[in-house]
Amino acid sequence: MRLGLGLPELRGSLAGDHGPLMALGFLGTVISLERAVALQQRWGYAAPLTSGLGTLASLLGWAIPGGWLLVIAGVLLTAIFVRVLLLQPALHTAVMGAGAVAWIGAAALWLAGHGGLPMATWLAGFLVLTVCGERLELSRFTRLETSARVLFLLAAGVFGLGLLITLPDAHVGAPVVGAGLLGLAAWLARYDVARRTVRTQGITRYMAACLLAGYAWLAAAGITWMASGASYGWSYDAKLHTIFLGFVMSMVFGHAPVIVPSVLGVAVPYRRIYWLHVAILHVGLLTRVLGDATASLTLWRAGGILNEVSILLFIIVTAITSTRATRERSRGRRFSRSGGIPRTSV
Amino acid sequence: MVDIADLLHKPPDPERVVWELLHRVDDPEIGVNIVDLGLVREVEVGPDGDVHIGMTLTTPTCPLGPYIRQEIENCLGETSWVGYVEVKIVWTPAWNPQTDMTDRAKRELGWIR
């Protein structure tokens, strides 16, 4: 709709609210559901449930109850991380917990009517810190030295400082956020296990390629935020979509074979066709950002359409793969000695 | 090595066969199997072919549990004698890459040259 396509409108401000609804409503619900599944405690499901209800309320036009529910969902997700920290204290969990706190900040800003850059910055804070915390955790496979952890803390600290400064003064805060993003991208490119696993094959290589492409976009985001500060217009489109599409959506595409079984309980085996929607996403975003850089409406629109095509294709391919896998699985299941199918429980 | 006969008929040492089969289940993010990563803690096979697997994940926030459970089910489904499969996730002791990973995994991940 925002690309100027003649699509039917559901609700007045829906197109303008697609950022928080995608970041908190869709990704936030999936992420909190993922954590609740991992925690294996019933109360943890209150976070995705509240987030889902908040999103539904917002979609139906009940902005205030919807906003409050999203704030509460952020608090519940933070509580999950506090529980995990009590279970196993670790820096990477604290970083993901800081991401959940950024969710609360973003939802509160949205509720208070402070949309635009400050809210978008805190939405980015939620997703960037969540992903970076996960990557820090996985970097333990590569025998991370203390100096590398210090560098991570430095980059994350600059990013967090930028988030805080954005509240009173977005013009000062935005370049600091950019420096933090660039620092985190450089750290990930240097220390992430994906550098090694991209040389393997199959699903592992696919996931690593998605990660590395995401890091390139995070670096591009850092440079854009540093160069354009808090300005709106063309650079605002680039500032947001390099993070939310280039970095975050690339992670989602890469991790779908793991995330979907976790949250929906259905298998999504790796298929080579997955590379297609990943390629369309990145080509589309490159076209869009070129449009932003040259103020070309044609390029911007073409890139945006490709981005939408990539997401639609991702949903369709994932649904088809999952349905086929479920069918094959039920066909291939043999009867056990007791006459039932092999049972598994976690 | 798992012999085809071990898949068709319950072997005298079923735990060994299950351990061997679990070497085929990779952590998708790392590309190394869950046994060499030190994630599998215990395997028990009952007299009726029921399998109990105790394993951990690298962190309590790790979303891999359901994925790995499916992979384990697929893998053990190659046998004709496995019945009930229970995968129990435990958090203590916490996974420690230094002490839990085998030399093979460390070599693949660049810890050992």
Q: What is the 3-state secondary structure (H, E, C) of chain A?
A: CCCCCCCCCCCCCCCCCHHHHHHHHHHHHHHHHHHHHHHCCHHHHHHHHHHHHHHHHHHCCCHHHHHHHHHHHHHHHHHHHHHHHHHCCCHHHHHHHHHHHHHHHHHHHHHCCCCCHHHHHHHHHHHHHHHHHHHHHHHHHHCCCHHHHHHHHHHHHHHHHHHHHHCCCHHHHHHHHHHHHHHHHHHHHHHCCHHHHCCCCHHHHHHHHHHHHHHHHHHHHHHHHHHHCCCCCHHHHHHHHHHHHHHHHHHHHHHHHHHHHHHHCCCCCCCCCHHHHHHHHHHHHHHHHHHHHHCCHHHHHHHHHHHHHHHHHHHHHHHHHHHHHHHHHHHHCCCCCCCCCCCEEC
Among candidates B58, B70, B80 on the partner chain, residue whose Cβ is nearest the Cβ of A140: B58
d(CA B68, CA A31): 18
User: What integer pLDDT is reported at residue A340 of this predicted model?
Assistant: 33
In CATH terms, is domain B4-106 a member of 3.30.300.130?
yes
A309/B contact by beta carbon, under 8 A = no
In A, which residues are within 8 Å of B37 by CB distance? 141
Residue A31 lies in a domain: yes
Q: What's the whole-number mean pLDDT along residues A181-209?
A: 96
User: pLDDT confidence of A15, banded at 50, 70, 90?
Assistant: low
Contact A342 B85 (CB under 8 A): yes
Cβ atoms within 10 Å of A23's Cβ, excluding its own: 25
Average pLDDT over residues B76-104: 91
Nearest to B62 among A38, A81, A270 (CB): A38
The pLDDT value recorded for residue A345 is 41
In a domain, A151, yes or no: no
pLDDT at A1: 54
pLDDT at A164 over 90: yes
Per-residue pLDDT reduced to its tens digit, A281-311: 999 999 999 999 999 999 999 999 999 999 9
Q: What pLDDT, on the 0 to 100 scale, is given for residue A267?
A: 85
Quick: pLDDT tens for A220-252.
Answer: 999 999 999 888 888 999 999 999 999 999 999
Write phi, then psi, for A316 (nearest 5 degrees): -65, -50
Token digits of residue A80: 């999950």
Query: Which chain B residues are Cβ-neighbours of A140 within 8 angstroms?
Result: 58, 97
Quick check: B75 contacting A, CB < 8 Å?
Answer: no
Which range has the worst mean pLDDT, A222-236, A330-344, B39-53?
A: A330-344
Interface of A with B in 107-166 (CB under 8 A): 134, 137-138, 140-143
Lowest mean pLDDT among A149-158, A174-183, B92-101: B92-101
Flag whether pLDDT at B10 surpasses 50: yes
Look at chain A and report how many structural domains it folds into.
Answer: 1
Interface residue B96 vs chain A (CB under 8 A): no
Instruction: Band the pLDDT of B26: cuts 50, 70, 90.
Output: very high
Residue A169 has pLDDT above 90, yes or no: yes
pLDDT at A210 over 80: yes
Which range is most confident: A19-23, A150-154, B69-73? Answer: A150-154
Q: Which residue from B minimizes the CA distance to A41?
A: B60
pLDDT tens digits, one per residue of B47-66:
988 999 999 999 888 888 88
Contact B97 A141 (CB under 8 A): yes
pLDDT of residue A285: 98
| Residue A62 belongs to a domain | yes
Residue B56 amino acid letter: T
CA distance A162 to A221: 14
> Kindly report the CA angle at A33 between A163 and A104, in degrees rounded to 5?
25
> Does B7 lie at the interface with A, CB-CB under 8 angstroms?
no
Given CB atoms, is A272 within the 8 Å cutoff of chain B?
A: no
User: Per-residue pLDDT for A338 more than 50?
Assistant: no
Cβ–Cβ < 8 Å for A129, A93: no
**Residues of chain A with C-beta less than 8 angstroms from the C-beta of B26:** 204
Say yes or no for a CB contact (<8 Å) between A138 and B111.
no
pLDDT confidence bin for A334, thresholds 50/70/90: very low
B62: contact with A, CB 8 A cutoff: yes
Chain B residues touching A38 at Cβ < 8 A = 57, 60-63, 65
Q: Give residue A53's pLDDT.
A: 95
pTM of the model: 0.88
User: Residues A181-199: what's their mean pLDDT?
Assistant: 96
- Say yes or no for a CB contact (<8 Å) between B28 and A196: no
Among residues A103, A120, A34, A98, which one has the least CA distance to residue A67? A103
Tell me the average pLDDT across A318-334. 80
Is it the case that residue A14 has pLDDT exceeding 90? Answer: no
Whether residues A346 and B110 touch (CB distance < 8 A) is answered with no
Of B37, B61, B88, the CB nearest to A96: B61
According to the model, what pLDDT value does residue A71 have? 96
pLDDT at A25 over 60: yes
Which residues in chain A are closer than 8 Å to B56, comparing Cβ atoms?
none
Question: Between chains, do B94 and A88 touch, taking CB under 8 Å as contact?
Answer: yes
Range of the domain at A79: 13-115
Average pLDDT, chain A: 89
Segment (H or E) for B88: strand B85-89
Residue A6: its pLDDT value, please? Answer: 57
| B87 to chain A: closest CA residue | A346
